[in-house]
Amino acid sequence: MTTIGLIRHGITEWNSLGKAQGVSDIPLNEIGRKQAKSIGDRLSLEEHWDMIFTSDLSRAFETAKIIGNKIGLPDCHIDERLREIHCGKIEGTTEEQRVRKWGSEWRNLNLGMEDFEEVSNRGVDFLKDIVRTYKGKRILVVGHGALIGLTLQKLLPQKFQQTYIDNTSITILNHIEDKWNCSLYNCTHHLNLSKVR
């Protein structure tokens, strides 16, 4: 069995303000760093992990480094397929600003956003490569909310018709005999224990 732990990065100022981040390289804020330490502490008490992969965007990479230092895996492997969805013209805007600028039907306009199918395809391609290359290993993957959510919807469409992924939540996927299952979804138990939000 190959086990993959999908973790969303810690919170950023743009997350707090409700701004679409996409591929804008926004760093963690102090709360985000505390969240990353909390998930790192949690993982250090659970079963061992063999490797960490991360998006190249700094909010994910820093989250991965903090976790890695807590669990004795300081080397993080970067894969650009783990980047967040490219949000085109809406990057840096809030929902209120988008409605004011483009109207309430802004989602139906061509504003340069990456297609959901493309995002889920690169997420699934990455996972398939992992299980092929690191069969039987336990791999942590630090990425982004839309990337993780869309990947889950593509991988397990009957289980995940819609998704919501919290900052530093962990979702556990298991791959056994060419089949995927999800044993844990969007778990933030570590944040409740440490009172970090």
Q: Is position 102 annotated in a ligand binding site?
A: no
Provide the pLDDT for residue 194: 60
Provide the pLDDT for residue 46: 84
State mean pLDDT over 123-148: 97
Band (pLDDT 50/70/90 cuts) for residue 115 is very high
pLDDT at residue 196 is higher than 80:
no
State mean pLDDT over 126-135: 97
Q: Which residues does 181 contact at the CB level (< 8 Å), separation at least 6?
A: 156, 173, 174
Q: Is position 106 annotated in a ligand binding site?
A: no
What is the C-alpha to C-alpha distance for residues 182 and 7, in angstroms, rounded to an integer?
14
pLDDT at residue 140 is higher than 90:
yes
Provide the pLDDT for residue 57: 98
What is the C-alpha to C-alpha distance for residues 168 and 162, in angstroms, rounded to an integer?
19
Q: Is position 122 annotated in a ligand binding site?
A: no
What is the C-alpha to C-alpha distance for residues 57 and 74, in angstroms, rounded to an integer?
17
- Under CATH, domain 2-88+115-194 is a member of which superfamily? Phosphoglycerate mutase-like (3.40.50.1240)
Q: Is position 180 annotated in a ligand binding site?
A: no
Q: Is position 190 annotated in a ligand binding site?
A: no
Q: Where are the domains of the chain?
A: 2-88+115-194
Check the CA dihedral 140-43-68-144 and report its sign. positive
What is the C-alpha to C-alpha distance for residues 69 and 151, in angstroms, rounded to an integer?
27
Maximum CA extent, the chain = 50
Annotated active-site residue in 62, 84, 91, 144: 84
Look-up of token digits 């039987």: 136
Question: What confidence tens digit (pLDDT) does each residue in 26-39 have?
Answer: 999 999 999 999 99
9 is catalytic: yes
Q: Is position 12 annotated in a ligand binding site?
A: yes
Provide the pLDDT for residue 47: 85
Annotated active-site residue in 9, 144, 175, 190: 9
Task: Tell which residue, 183, 177, 140, has the closest CA to residue 43.
Answer: 140
Question: What confidence tens digit (pLDDT) does each residue in 5-63 have?
Answer: 999 999 999 999 999 999 999 999 999 999 999 999 999 998 899 999 999 999 999 99
165 within 8 A of 148, measured Cβ to Cβ: yes
State mean pLDDT over 117-144: 97
The DSSP code for 166 is -
